[in-house]
Structure 1
Amino acid sequence: MQAEEHADQPPLDVPFDASALDATIGSSPAGVAVFDTELRYVYVNPALARLNGVPAAAHLGRYISEVLPEMDVRTDVMRRVLADGRPREITTSGRTWVDSLIERRYWRVALHRMEQDAQVRGLVGIAQEVTATENERDELRRARSYLTLLDNAAAEIGTTLDARSTCQQLAEFVVPVMADAAVVEMIPQEDGHSRREPPAGVVRLRRYGAAAIPELSGAIEPYGGQGAEIDYQEDAAVPRCLAADEPVVVHLTGDDEFGRADPTPERVAAYLAVGLHSAVVVPLTARGRPLGTLSLLRAGDSPPFTEGLDVVVARTLAGRAAVDVDHAYRYTHEHGVARELQRSLLSEPRVPDSGIEIASLYLPAGEGALVGGDWFDAIPLTGGRHLKVMGDVMGHGVEAAVAMSNYRSMLRIMAEDEQPPHRILERLDRAVERSGLDRAATCLVAVVDRREGVCEVASAGHPPPAFIDPGASGARVARIPVGPPLGTGLGGYVTTVLPCGPGTVLFMYTDGLVERRGEDIDVSVHRLSGLTLPVSGRLEDLLEEVVDRFADTAEDDIAVLVSRSRGY
């Protein structure tokens, strides 16, 4: 831009010998200006002319606002110096006519009143540019705020084992401290579900998080919330960031650059309308594998992103979040595998013969919890007898589910010899010790003899069974010796014979049904004595009653196996 020169300058009352002044300070590296009492320029040295990008003669007789319309000048302070004669220093900022990549420059100006013959004749201003110093101060302030940001990141990002929650936390965390808007987009994971393939030359991501200042939320929200698929051309900033695993800084100064950076013309138009001008895209990478990107956007008066501190901090935050997202992905995968394995092992037990009724129940502690090692089984024996087992492997996750499978398989082998329950547990205990399984388990084995109307029971660290007799006003909780959990190699199991005639319900369960934090286990188990057969007499209705009475307060997985015989 160029300043307009006045063709006719008004006559000036110059209170000094301009040639003498020019000889004295004309070569000074500091910019010097002299103003009359109306604050019009009457002298400008060559240094100030160069700073302002306007010839010295074009200043004369004009006000600062005429010469430098984009300069923020404290004329009120200048008038106070004229009034009281006390020198002052001020900081001015803005833009001159000199081409510069710096949006706003800063000057420190000393102001002195000029007097002659006891009369106020004008004002002298001596200016020194301090843009670098001010920028350094701004960088220091930003660095301090970013350090605080990084300190707080661990407490606010990745607080759950859910990838989408982590991505949303990241987007919200950086707005407005680092950006006016932020989006987190992830490479779709292989989850076994069919998915729409993107067209050739297009990179498709899925948006997991988005946040914006109120002024921009209307422009961001219509173009994809959590779960939305976002398509990018291969030369856009996001795919380039993923391909190189390096940050990409984009200054959106023209429609062509904006079109490359954003996926659709509609989105480009919306973003241009709200003044988006700068973006930085950083990769989310964990264990050497790209997971997605964090895109930070700035608009309006916000400064453009730089290759320095902005990128370093954004990449550090993205790296931390990527680790949390990777943990969430791995947890979800493990959770799914364990669920499928447990579901296959907890299918409805095979009914030993037509004279036996069996019903079962499994309730995980919560959707967010890793599956446990609860299992149950029913195995037919000879002579009208059948074996039922309820077990609980210590721990959760895939390892617990695999251990559960091993326990169940070994117990089925042990049952083939039709030994008493305590013998089965002893052999299983030794087999587990030899197998190298590093997870102990509790187990309750019950052999029901329909001919004799009895039930032989032995426990390896497992809660006792309960029996609900026909017409009884409550359940009887068995009192039986309890041996050590399986896998300890200690043995010492005892079989107890209990009455279990036709129509009596054998009630077996894991400790998650009754055990409550801070409560004695005997008190917890005694709660089962209130169970009765429902009016319908159906075992399924009994299980519904169990859910109603115990599920809401349960703190662990619940497994229940109920059965009864019809006689022989």
Structure 2
Amino acid sequence: MDRDTSSRRPAAPAGPAASGLTAAPAAPVARGTSTASAASAAEGTPPVDLGYIDMLRGIVEGAAVGFAVLDTRLRYLYVNPHMARMTGLPAAAYLGRTQREVLPHIQRPDQVLRDVMHDGRPREAIVTGRTWVDSPYQVREWRCVYHRLVDSTGKVAGVAAVGLEISEPQQYLYELERAHRRLALLDSAASRIGTGTDVAGTCRELAEFVVPELADAAGVELSPPDTASARRAPTRLAAYATRPGLATGLAALDARGELVGWPRGTGTRRNLAAGRIWRRNAITAAQWRSLIPRWPPARACLTARVHSVLLAPLVSDGRVLGILLLARAGDSGSFSNEDATVARELAARAARALDRAVRFEREHTMALELQRALLAEPGQLQQHAGVETTARYRPADDGSMIGGDWYDVLALPDGRTMLVIGDVMGHGVDAAVAMSHYRSTLRALALAGLSPRRILQHADRMVADSGFERVATCFLALGDSDVATLTYASAGHLPPVWLTPQGDMELVPVPVGPPLGSGLGRYEQRVTPERGGVLLLYTDGLVERRGEDIDRGLARLTGLSLCPTDPLDKILDTVLARLAGGSEDDIALLAARAVRG
């Protein structure tokens, strides 16, 4: 994770005299003579041309690279003017001192220099860090080459170092790499945040996504659902994540479910209410007290060495849904302008996913309440003295979608009983509203005394003429205890199952017409004698599975071993326990049994 490591100039050390170290000045060499030329004359060899020495001195001292000579203990014997300029220290400050003493913020692999002196093989190394002068680069880098130095007797005298600064091209590469990582981070956010449809899960995914890539700890605070402004109400912590090393120290911050808002009248609250980023680095103890009114969380931040905080509002369609809180601690760098930009974009993308989850959850709640209002509890079903009924409704396994499945029992004035099971296409509020429409229509037609096939014909035409776009399957069973008969009619629905008095499960053959709402209503009905046992009506979620032929699901249903004399509640619970697992759709079940007086 990138951190703000911009080079800043620290206070330079004092010179050798001030620090207590005194470097012996180099002996002056008069032009036209040298110890080398004197030695050459004594040995009878041609004298060294001092013009070459002056030329070499000019090259070294005028070169735009750093040049240094160090003794065998890695103490400086010479540095050229360019090295003095780029480090911010005069050449005299180096003499007789080690790098750690004069440049403590530079990381140099000293073992490489020792290896060069040991075997004489030149080596390269990358040196990084900060010097005593300001720099526009986040990290300064030099590519250095080291050569062993020997005296005239062949004894190792030290090492010569030549360093070329490569900070600018390296900074460019770092920026490209960082930009690539940030783009990859934002791209992956689309597939890792908002994978589900619940608000809590989306908040948890967001908090866990930014740790540790963008922060050491993160929280997601949500505004109450009845407000769209962080100015008028506190927020509530919905999710929290931290890197393992901080989990214990920041336990006091994990107050999920509690109201945690930011103090009123502060710049923090005003920025968040306006949808702006708020960032604070190098936070002091006094500032922690003002930022977090309750002292224990503030003390936890101080104990865990949390020094920087960034707050990014979660804004969608102009509404502030909440806050993404990022914190860095310990040796992690402060939040930079680039971090703020990334956090702003990430918060914007996450807010869209969160808004979808909020809307879905609100719609899910409305649909569920509407469905509960329309579906009578099993004990509230209308009953006649001669019929016992009970029912079950079960959402899909993940509970995220409320469908249009419904059941109904009508005790008609003439003593007959109408059993209804149906399934509206689709899910959500629209499906629940459509279910209400179909249920009311069928009730009205049944109370008018129509036969099952006539009920379906009129309902199909009424729905088609009204322009209602959601079709539905439906099955009707009209029981007449006076003549001990059952009359069936189906609008595209699966056939019911008889649990016979002998315990067999048999599909009831019924003529099937088109679904309601198609406008193609031609329905037939079938009359059979009532022969005891239990009649089971169900929707397709009980037997239908993705990628599987429906006949296999029906075979599982008819293959169940059930006792026809068991209570109806037990029979339905057994059916659900054995068949409902893995269903991707909701399920409605209705069971009926004739009761003899």
- Fold conserved (TM > 0.5)? yes
Aligned in 2, Cα 1:399/1:532: closer, same or farther, shift over 3 Å?
same
Task: Report the CA distance between 1:132 and its aligned residue.
Answer: 4.2
Q: What corresponds to 2:530 in structure 1?
A: 500
Pick aligned residue for 1:3 from 2, 13, 16: 13
Task: Report the CA distance between 1:165 and its aligned residue.
Answer: 1.9
Q: Give me the whole-angstrom Cα distance separating, in 1, the residues matched to 2:27 and 2:586.
A: 94
Q: Give me the whole-angstrom Cα distance separating, in 2, the residues matched to 1:421 and 1:282.
A: 60
Q: Deviations over 1:219-257 (max 9, x none)?
A: 223321543442322467863542231222321253344
Task: Report the CA distance between 1:341 and its aligned residue.
Answer: 0.9
Per the alignment, in what secondary structure is the counterpart of residue 383 of structure 1?
A: coil
Pick aligned residue for 2:98 from 63, 75, 87: 63
Pick aligned residue for 1:390 from 421, 424, 437: 421
Q: Give me the whole-angstrom Cα distance separating, in 1, the residues matched to 2:30 and 2:220.
A: 66
Q: Equivalences for 1:41-60 in 2 at 5 Å?
A: 41-44=76-79, 47-60=82-95
Q: Please tell me whether the aligned partners of residues 137 and 171 of structure 2 are also in contact (alpha carbons under 8 angstroms).
A: no
Aligned in 2, Cα 1:128/1:15: closer, same or farther, shift over 3 Å?
farther
Q: Equivalences for 1:33-44 in 2 at 5 Å?
A: 33-36=68-71, 38-44=73-79
Q: Equivalences for 1:158-169 in 2 at 5 Å?
A: 158-169=194-205
Q: What corresponds to 2:141 in structure 1?
A: 106
Q: Give me the whole-angstrom Cα distance separating, in 2, the residues matched to 1:81 and 1:545.
A: 82
Per the alignment, in what secondary structure is the counterpart of residue 328 of structure 1?
A: helix
Q: What corresponds to 2:445 in structure 1?
A: 414
Percentage identity across paired residues of the two chains: 41
Q: Deviations over 1:379-416 (max 9, x none)?
A: 33343323222211112111111100000111122223
Q: Give me the whole-angstrom Cα distance separating, in 2, the residues matched to 1:8 and 1:377.
A: 99
Q: What corresponds to 1:137 in structure 2?
A: 173
Per the alignment, in what secondary structure is the counterpart of residue 138 of structure 1?
A: helix
Per the alignment, in what secondary structure is the counterpart of residue 464 of structure 2?
A: helix
Task: Report the CA distance between 1:562 and its aligned residue.
Answer: 2.6
Q: Please tell me whether the aligned partners of residues 515 and 525 of structure 1 are also in contact (alpha carbons under 8 angstroms).
A: no
Q: Give me the whole-angstrom Cα distance separating, in 1, the residues matched to 2:580 and 2:146.
A: 80
Q: What corresponds to 1:329 in structure 2?
A: 358
One-letter code aligned to 1:552 = G
Pick aligned residue for 2:216 from 162, 174, 180: 180
Q: Please tell me whether the aligned partners of residues 545 and 583 of structure 2 are also in contact (alpha carbons under 8 angstroms).
A: yes
Task: Report the CA distance between 1:494 and its aligned residue.
Answer: 0.8
One-letter code aligned to 2:99 = I
Q: What corresponds to 1:427 in structure 2?
A: 458
Q: What corresponds to 1:544 in structure 2?
A: 573
> Which is worse superposed, 382-391 or 234-243?
234-243
Q: Please tell me whether the aligned partners of residues 393 and 404 of structure 1 are also in contact (alpha carbons under 8 angstroms).
A: yes
Per the alignment, in what secondary structure is the counterpart of residue 93 of structure 1?
A: strand
Task: Report the CA distance between 1:174 and its aligned residue.
Answer: 2.4
Q: Equivalences for 1:86-485 in 2 at 5 Å?
A: 90-98=125-133, 105-109=140-144, 111=146, 125=161, 127=163, 129-190=165-226, 204-224=234-254, 226-234=256-264, 239-308=269-338, 310-348=339-377, 350-351=381-382, 353-468=384-499, 471-485=501-515
Q: Give me the whole-angstrom Cα distance separating, in 2, the residues matched to 1:450 and 1:292.
A: 61
Q: Give me the whole-angstrom Cα distance separating, in 1, the residues matched to 2:169 and 2:336.
A: 18
> Which is worse superposed, 473-482 or 156-165?
473-482
Q: TM-score, normalization: structure 1?
A: 0.85
Q: Please tell me whether the aligned partners of residues 534 and 564 of structure 2 are also in contact (alpha carbons under 8 angstroms).
A: no
Q: Give me the whole-angstrom Cα distance separating, in 2, the residues matched to 1:420 and 1:462.
A: 18
One-letter code aligned to 1:68 = L
Q: Give me the whole-angstrom Cα distance separating, in 2, the residues matched to 1:350 and 1:37.
A: 99
> Which is worse superposed, 505-514 or 481-490?
505-514
Q: Please tell me whether the aligned partners of residues 281 and 307 of structure 2 are also in contact (alpha carbons under 8 angstroms).
A: yes
> Which is worse superposed, 235-244 or 207-216?
235-244
Q: Give me the whole-angstrom Cα distance separating, in 1, the residues matched to 2:99 and 2:186.
A: 44
Q: Give me the whole-angstrom Cα distance separating, in 2, the residues matched to 1:113 and 1:540.
A: 93
Q: Give me the whole-angstrom Cα distance separating, in 2, the residues matched to 1:340 and 1:400.
A: 13
Q: What corresponds to 1:195 in structure 2?
A: none
> Which is worse superposed, 251-260 or 158-167?
251-260
Q: What corresponds to 1:487 in structure 2?
A: 517
One-letter code aligned to 1:436 = G
Q: Deviations over 1:248-282 (max 9, x none)?
A: 23212533444444454333333233333333322
Gaps of 5+ in 2: 1-10, 32-52
Task: Report the CA distance between 1:56 and its aligned residue.
Answer: 3.8
Q: Deviations over 1:15-43 (max 9, x none)?
A: 85699799887676655545455543344
Per the alignment, in what secondary structure is the counterpart of residue 479 of structure 2?
A: strand
Aligned in 2, Cα 1:499/1:555: closer, same or farther, shift over 3 Å?
farther
Q: Deviations over 1:547-566 (max 9, x none)?
A: 34433364432222233444
Q: TM-score, normalization: structure 2?
A: 0.81
Q: Give me the whole-angstrom Cα distance separating, in 1, the residues matched to 2:591 and 2:540.
A: 15
Task: Report the CA distance between 1:493 and its aligned residue.
Answer: 0.5
Q: Give me the whole-angstrom Cα distance separating, in 2, the residues matched to 1:259 and 1:497.
A: 80
> Which is worse superposed, 474-483 or 546-555?
546-555
Aligned in 2, Cα 1:420/1:31: closer, same or farther, shift over 3 Å?
same
Q: What corresponds to 1:194 in structure 2?
A: none
Q: Deviations over 1:120-150 (max 9, x none)?
A: 7665555555444443333222222223323
Q: Give me the whole-angstrom Cα distance separating, in 2, the residues matched to 1:464 and 1:40.
A: 96
Q: Give me the whole-angstrom Cα distance separating, in 2, the residues matched to 1:9 and 1:22.
A: 25
Q: Give me the whole-angstrom Cα distance separating, in 2, the residues matched to 1:539 and 1:327.
A: 41
Q: Give me the whole-angstrom Cα distance separating, in 2, the residues matched to 1:240 and 1:532.
A: 66
Q: Please tell me whether the aligned partners of residues 397 and 581 of structure 2 are also in contact (alpha carbons under 8 angstroms).
A: no
Q: Give me the whole-angstrom Cα distance separating, in 2, the residues matched to 1:34 and 1:521.
A: 89
Q: Give me the whole-angstrom Cα distance separating, in 2, the residues matched to 1:133 and 1:545.
A: 72
Aligned in 2, Cα 1:35/1:486: closer, same or farther, shift over 3 Å?
same
Aligned in 2, Cα 1:57/1:414: closer, same or farther, shift over 3 Å?
same
Q: Please tell me whether the aligned partners of residues 23 and 92 of structure 2 are also in contact (alpha carbons under 8 angstroms).
A: no
Q: What corresponds to 2:37 in structure 1?
A: none
Q: Give me the whole-angstrom Cα distance separating, in 2, the residues matched to 1:416 and 1:426.
A: 15
Task: Report the CA distance between 1:530 and its aligned residue.
Answer: 5.4
Per the alignment, in what secondary structure is the counterpart of residue 262 of structure 2?
A: strand
Gaps of 5+ in 1: 192-197
Q: Please tell me whether the aligned partners of residues 341 and 401 of structure 1 are also in contact (alpha carbons under 8 angstroms).
A: yes
Q: Please tell me whether the aligned partners of residues 203 and 232 of structure 1 are also in contact (alpha carbons under 8 angstroms).
A: no
Q: Deviations over 1:156-214 (max 9, x none)?
A: 222211222222222222222232222222223349xxxxxx9xx99632223332222
Aligned in 2, Cα 1:484/1:521: closer, same or farther, shift over 3 Å?
farther
Task: Report the CA distance between 1:427 and its aligned residue.
Answer: 0.7
Task: Report the CA distance between 1:337 and its aligned residue.
Answer: 0.9
Q: Give me the whole-angstrom Cα distance separating, in 2, the residues matched to 1:456 and 1:438.
A: 29
Q: What corresponds to 1:561 in structure 2?
A: 590
Aligned length: 556
Q: CA RMSD in A?
A: 3.6
